[in-house]
């Protein structure tokens, strides 16, 4: 009995000794591979927010609620090729006149408008497309200035009393009467309506919804009228 008790105590002592023993080695363990992997992971979003970041476009728009059409300084209509300034809304008592978001365009794709044209951004954008795709190819890239006969104007069509208000009254239209080339030469619609101007004129059909030039109706012998009216049907190009 005494011997059996001694064996039992010995087993307990061994068990206790095992329980007290460290479960892991006392030697430093090699750094697990996973730690290296974690270092390579991208910083959490909270860390990224501490870095200075470029100001988002929306923030610029919020601080300038009246000027949402501007992209960079000097550009309008969200198009860096269209230079000018944004104007206050043009409000008219005459039904059919006024522009909610007018722009005063001074140049388009490097071509000056003289004088600067007051139009809306639909017209300015169409003008930019035509200058790139129609006008400059017709003139082998030589046009440096458009002579503008009219842009925004609250008046009846063809200045005839009783007519409907012209698209000029909505900023949808621009009249061009001349083209100045790099050489300094000026070609006018009135005196030089030859192949080059005719090709440039016709190339605008579709980009603009209505075009009227020499030979159309007797009112457009010295200028070409371009407009982006929302009239239905096919473009009217004369
Ligand atoms: Zn016109």
**Band of pLDDT at residue 232, cut at 50, 70 and 90:** confident
- In the reported structure, the alpha carbon of residue 225 is separated from the centroid of ligand 1 by a whole-number distance in angstroms of 4
- Structural domain boundaries of the chain? 66-237
pLDDT in tens, 74-85: 999 999 999 999
Cα 10 from Cα 131, distance rounded (Å): 103
Q: Minimum mean pLDDT among 70-79, 89-98, 131-140, 141-150: which range? A: 70-79
Determine the pLDDT at residue 9: 46
- In the reported structure, the alpha carbon of residue 215 is separated from the centroid of ligand 1 by a whole-number distance in angstroms of 15
Contact between 147 and 177 under an 8 Å Cβ cutoff? The reply is yes
- In the reported structure, the alpha carbon of residue 108 is separated from the centroid of ligand 1 by a whole-number distance in angstroms of 19
Determine the pLDDT at residue 233: 79
**Band of pLDDT at residue 235, cut at 50, 70 and 90:** confident
- In the reported structure, the alpha carbon of residue 20 is separated from the centroid of ligand 1 by a whole-number distance in angstroms of 100
pLDDT in tens, 207-221: 999 999 999 999 999
**Band of pLDDT at residue 131, cut at 50, 70 and 90:** very high
**Band of pLDDT at residue 103, cut at 50, 70 and 90:** very high
Determine the pLDDT at residue 126: 97
Determine the pLDDT at residue 195: 94
Determine the pLDDT at residue 106: 98
DSSP code string of 119-142:
E-HHHHHHHHHHIIIIIHHHTTT-
Cα 109 from Cα 102, distance rounded (Å): 19
- In the reported structure, the alpha carbon of residue 164 is separated from the centroid of ligand 1 by a whole-number distance in angstroms of 13
Average per-residue pLDDT in the chain? Answer: 80
- In the reported structure, the alpha carbon of residue 175 is separated from the centroid of ligand 1 by a whole-number distance in angstroms of 5
- In the reported structure, the alpha carbon of residue 226 is separated from the centroid of ligand 1 by a whole-number distance in angstroms of 6
- In the reported structure, the alpha carbon of residue 236 is separated from the centroid of ligand 1 by a whole-number distance in angstroms of 13
Determine the pLDDT at residue 223: 97
218: left (phi over 0), alpha (psi -120 to 50) or beta: left
Cα 128 from Cα 130, distance rounded (Å): 6
Which of 4-8, 52-56, 185-189 ranks highest by mean pLDDT?
Answer: 185-189
Determine the pLDDT at residue 236: 87
Determine the pLDDT at residue 186: 98
Strand pairing category for 143-150 and 111-119: parallel
- In the reported structure, the alpha carbon of residue 205 is separated from the centroid of ligand 1 by a whole-number distance in angstroms of 15
Paired with 76 in beta bridges are: 79
Burial grade of 87 (CB within 10 A; 0-12, 13-18, 19 or more): middle
pLDDT at residue 59 tops 90: no
- In the reported structure, the alpha carbon of residue 198 is separated from the centroid of ligand 1 by a whole-number distance in angstroms of 17
Average pLDDT over residues 28-54: 45
- In the reported structure, the alpha carbon of residue 152 is separated from the centroid of ligand 1 by a whole-number distance in angstroms of 9
- In the reported structure, the alpha carbon of residue 212 is separated from the centroid of ligand 1 by a whole-number distance in angstroms of 8
- In the reported structure, the alpha carbon of residue 149 is separated from the centroid of ligand 1 by a whole-number distance in angstroms of 8
Cα 146 from Cα 24, distance rounded (Å): 87
45: helix, strand or coil: helix
- In the reported structure, the alpha carbon of residue 57 is separated from the centroid of ligand 1 by a whole-number distance in angstroms of 35
């Amino acid at each position: 009995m005494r011997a059996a008790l001694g064996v039992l105590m010995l087993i307990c002592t061994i068990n206790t000794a095992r329980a007290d023993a460290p479960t892991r080695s006392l030697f430093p363990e090699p750094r697990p591979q996973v730690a290296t992997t974690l270092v390579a992971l991208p910083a959490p979003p909270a860390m990224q927010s501490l870095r200075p970041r470029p100001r988002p476009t929306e923030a610029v728009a919020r601080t300038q609620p009246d000027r949402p059409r501007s992209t960079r300084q000097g550009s309008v209509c969200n198009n860096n090729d269209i230079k000018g300034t944004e104007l206050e809304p043009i409000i008219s008592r005459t039904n059919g006149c006024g522009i909610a978001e007018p722009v005063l365009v001074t140049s388009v794709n490097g071509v000056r408008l003289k004088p600067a044209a007051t139009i809306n951004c639909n017209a300015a954008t169409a003008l930019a497309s035509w200058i790139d795709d129609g006008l400059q190819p017709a003139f082998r890239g030589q046009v440096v200035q458009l002579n503008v006969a009219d842009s925004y104007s609250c008046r009846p069509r063809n200045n005839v009393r009783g007519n409907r208000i012209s698209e000029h009254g909505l900023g949808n239209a621009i009249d061009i009467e001349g083209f100045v080339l790099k050489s300094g030469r000026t070609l006018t619609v009135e005196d030089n309506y030859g192949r080059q101007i005719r090709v440039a004129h016709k190339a605008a059909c579709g980009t603009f919804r209505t075009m009227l030039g020499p030979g159309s109706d007797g009112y457009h012998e010295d200028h070409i009228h371009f407009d982006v009216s929302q009239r239905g049907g096919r473009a009217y190009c004369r």
